[in-house]
Amino acid sequence: MAPLGGTPRLVLLFSGKRKSGKDFVTETLQSRLGADDCAILRLSGPLKEQYAQEHALSFQRLLDASTYKEAYRKDMIRWGEDKRRADPGFFCRKVVEGVSQPVWLVSDTRRMSDIQWFQEAYRAVVQTVRVVASEQSRQQRGWVFTPGVDDAESECGLDDFGDFDWVIENHGDEQRLEQQLENLLEFIRSRL
């Protein structure tokens, strides 16, 4: 049985390391498809909202790329892992509530349990997309290795998945990126 929300025609599960460009890619795709046809779902949204409520923090400040969010990142990861151990689909169910667009771009898939939940809930319409970028490209975007974050499951949980339907290389070659995005857009439009 599908969770609350509409029945999508296509669900794309995006994963990748911090500063690989997952948000950039999903936002570019949505801008070209239109918000009426395409929704960006962030699993971290309900996680941050629940964490903020339980810890009397600012949800809005946890959403942006700020030092405020970074101050709580390690504890948020630990807290989120505890929630997932108790209920692997907790954040997945929350993020799809009320979504009616036919295309869903899940911008921050991080674990096998996320992929499994969406595949079980939506079966044949799920595609996995890995966004990759070299360490040098990520560093140019502000990434610095952080122990307890970059070596945690939230960053490494899909490193060995290896069976992605799509791989988007985002190393800084704009022409190559554009070609890959056009190929993916063509596929998405064929499902609308």
Question: Binding site membership for ATP: which residues?
Answer: 17-23, 141, 171, 180
Residue 152 near residue 111 (C-beta atoms within 8 A): no
Query: What CA–CA distance (Å, rounded) separates 61 from 82?
Result: 22
3-state per-residue secondary structure call for 38-72: EEEECCHHHHHHHHHHHHCCCHHHHHCCCHHHHHH
Residue 62 near residue 52 (C-beta atoms within 8 A): yes
Residue 176 near residue 169 (C-beta atoms within 8 A): yes
| Binding residue numbers for substrate | 170
- Crossing angle between the packed helical segments 67-86 and 44-55, to the nearest 10 degrees: 100
Query: What CA–CA distance (Å, rounded) separates 39 from 96?
Result: 10
- Side-chain-facing half-sphere of 32: CA atoms under 13 Å: 16
Q: Give the SS3 label for residue 10.
A: strand
| Binding residue numbers | 17-23, 141, 170-171, 180
Per DSSP, 124 falls in state G
